[in-house]
Structure 1
Amino acid sequence: MRPIWKGSISFSLITIPIALYPASRREEVSFRLLRSSDLSPVNYKRVAETDGKEVPWDKIVKGYEYEKGKFVVLKDEDFRRVDVEATQTIDIIDFVKLEEINPIFFDKPYFLVPQKAGTKAYALLRDALRKTGRVGIAKVVIKSRQHLAAIKPQNNALVLELMHFADELIKPGNLNIPASLDVGTRELEMATDLVERMTDAWDPEKYTDDYRSALMNLIQKKVEHGGKTPPEGPTQKKKKPSNVIDLVSVLQESLDQSHAAAHTGKTTKSPSRKHKTKKAA
């Protein structure tokens, strides 16, 4: 694997040369648009909204819509004027406690790998972060864009996790989220009991993308059948939701399922979704 970025970690007078490697990947199935008659790929054209005419690349400029239908054009020199200097340095600004950071701020992780002469300082920073329970909050420029990031110890590695700036997060104030409600002592005790029974040790390997697996399996079968859809096997009928308002009975049914699963040794399934709760009884 080739690094996507090389530079250094810098805090106080310490500099650690590192290389940046992806720590995650998106397993998405990509599709092409085809003409149904001969499966010829369909390409997009750049057309102007006013007259529908195709526009060549040399006639296209970048514009910002500051009012509905009103644009200001930005040229290359405009972008150069506000460009953040790419110093190839991950500048740690502060060290903060990890538990103080809302997980919603974290976005995408990368592995930090030390280069020659930086191994000891790398291990020193990693161990100091682990011992203090802190993470380094830094700014870094990657591909001409400045990012907020956190440097965290992960086993023997240091991970750089790109973060959202505060003004990038949407506040839920306009969403229909219930405030404090009187859910009832019995309902709360039963819900708490259900959560406790379904609690297990975190094992990321047990969670897989069922949709992608099923889709790739279907694609493989269609390839084997010459592009034709293979015969469909038996499918389970979907349960129709019903307007049930007895929250206690829903919780009791879920607890019974959890209790039965625990005694049979089977994996506990999520509570039945056939009930649609409107209001606690």
Structure 2
Amino acid sequence: MPRSIWKGAISFGLISIPIKVYGATEQKDISFRQVHPADGGRIKYKRVCEVCSQEIPFAEIAKGYETPDGRMAILEKQDFEDLPLRSTKAVDVVQFVDADEVDPTYISSTYFLEADGPGAKPYVLLRDALVQSGRVAIVKVALRSRETLAMIRAKDDLLLMHTILWPDELRDGQFAAPAEDVSVSDAEITMAGSFIDALSGPFEPEQFHDAYREALETLVEAKLSGSAMVAQEEDTGASADVVDLVAALRASVEAAKKRRAEASGEQAAPAAPAEPAEEEDEAPARKTPTRTTAKKTTAKKTAAKKTTAAKTTTARKTPAKKAS
């Protein structure tokens, strides 16, 4: 069981809910040591004061804030604990909002909330009330010596708390938006919708895995055992220079249906062709005159010539009758 990182209470009106806070996520990435490649020795760093050149133990290091004019304000652990904030030991509910009103972009970290001591009943009361109302609680809390906004929501039998970034911590992303003169056709949107339909389904996180981490683990095992790493086929993927979006999307739909069919053992149905774009009416093209009559006349003349030549040859070969 993990250790709690914070202990306090949820202030729910006049009701106080004692809780313990646990980290809900953990990093599964492979960590590496910095080493000397010649002998494998680990590279170590020393915390040295630039003024007195002495190595300072981590427990004796304080936090300092340097002002633009070069002055230094030194803050110690007790200074943070004595901050006049209500949220240092309490999760203060400030508002209830609809669950879909919170933009996921603002969510930073996730925590489990556990009822502590006599807090089980008010814990269940808040949890069930949130479920029936379809809302989440917006709260203020101080975690790791820093006050932050957070959202408390019910999930199954638990209360989860998601810390939320402050509005000024979210960058303006308008610089990344495409140019206003870029447009797509109805046929392209229709085919894109077909691709979305081909890959639609319930979200099941269990079916996804970290292929990069698995490849790193295999590489490490190969290094330790001294065996050669099996080369993987390179996936070139689709070309970035796409000219015909409809054709590319149609091929993507076919590939997606084929993958799903192979997984389920069924035969993939062909993708529906995109409707052609509407064109302006044009004048009917001039008909090219047929040459059938001319060809027939030429054939008749050729046949007549051949017949005449044949008669002439026959006449020459027939001997003349003697006069009696």
Measure how far apart 1:47 and its partner are.
Answer: 7.2
3-state SS of paired residue (1:20): strand
- Is contact 1:10–1:16 with CA below 8 Å preserved after alignment? yes
Q: Which range moves more in the overlay, 157-166 or 169-178?
A: 169-178
Q: Any unmatched runs of 5+ in structure 1?
A: 268-281
- Alignment CA distance shift 1:174-1:130 (3 Å): same
- Counterpart of 1:270 in structure 2 is none
- Counterpart of 1:246 in structure 2 is 244
3-state SS of paired residue (1:75): strand
- Is contact 1:46–1:56 with CA below 8 Å preserved after alignment? yes
Q: Does 1:260 align with 2:261?
A: no
Measured in 2, the distance between the counterparts of 1:238 and 1:100 equals 40
- Alignment CA distance shift 1:145-1:215 (3 Å): same
- Alignment CA distance shift 1:24-1:179 (3 Å): farther
- Counterpart of 2:234 in structure 1 is 237
3-state SS of paired residue (2:25): coil
Length-normalised TM-score, structure 2: 0.71
Measured in 1, the distance between the counterparts of 2:219 and 2:148 equals 40
Measured in 1, the distance between the counterparts of 2:218 and 2:198 equals 34
Length-normalised TM-score, structure 1: 0.81
Larger Rg: 2
- Is contact 2:151–2:163 with CA below 8 Å preserved after alignment? yes
- Counterpart of 1:279 in structure 2 is none
Measured in 2, the distance between the counterparts of 1:231 and 1:180 equals 52
User: Matched residue pairs, number?
Assistant: 258
Measured in 2, the distance between the counterparts of 1:15 and 1:203 equals 36
Any residues of structure 2 matched to 1:1-281 within 5 Å, and which? 1=1, 2-45=3-46, 56-57=55-56, 62-64=64-66, 66=68, 71-76=70-75, 80=79, 83=83, 85=85, 87-179=88-180, 181-223=182-224, 225=225, 228=226, 230-239=227-236, 241=239, 243-265=241-263
- Is contact 2:65–2:73 with CA below 8 Å preserved after alignment? yes
Q: Larger % of strand: which?
A: 1
Measured in 1, the distance between the counterparts of 2:142 and 2:177 equals 37
For 2:138, give the aligned amino acid: I
- Alignment CA distance shift 1:54-1:61 (3 Å): farther
Q: Report Cα offsets for 1:101-146 as digits up to 9, x if no partner.
A: 1001111111111122211111110011011111111111122111
Measure how far apart 1:65 and its partner are.
Answer: 6.2
For 1:249, give the aligned amino acid: A
Identity among equivalent positions (%) equals 30
Measured in 1, the distance between the counterparts of 2:233 and 2:138 equals 49
Measure how far apart 1:61 and its partner are.
Answer: 7.4
For 2:185, give the aligned amino acid: G
Measured in 1, the distance between the counterparts of 2:181 and 2:31 equals 43
Measured in 2, the distance between the counterparts of 1:88 and 1:63 equals 24
Measured in 2, the distance between the counterparts of 1:60 and 1:15 equals 34
Measured in 2, the distance between the counterparts of 1:204 and 1:133 equals 24
Measured in 2, the distance between the counterparts of 1:251 and 1:164 equals 37
Measured in 2, the distance between the counterparts of 1:239 and 1:201 equals 29
- Alignment CA distance shift 1:48-1:180 (3 Å): farther
For 2:243, give the aligned amino acid: I
3-state SS of paired residue (2:105): helix
Measured in 2, the distance between the counterparts of 1:59 and 1:220 equals 39
Q: Report Cα offsets for 1:147-197 as digits up to 9, x if no partner.
A: 211110010100011111111111102335344742000000000111011
Measured in 1, the distance between the counterparts of 2:108 and 2:175 equals 23
Structural RMSD (CA): 2.9
For 1:157, give the aligned amino acid: L
Q: Larger % of helix: which?
A: 2
- Alignment CA distance shift 1:157-1:245 (3 Å): same
3-state SS of paired residue (2:70): strand
3-state SS of paired residue (2:125): helix
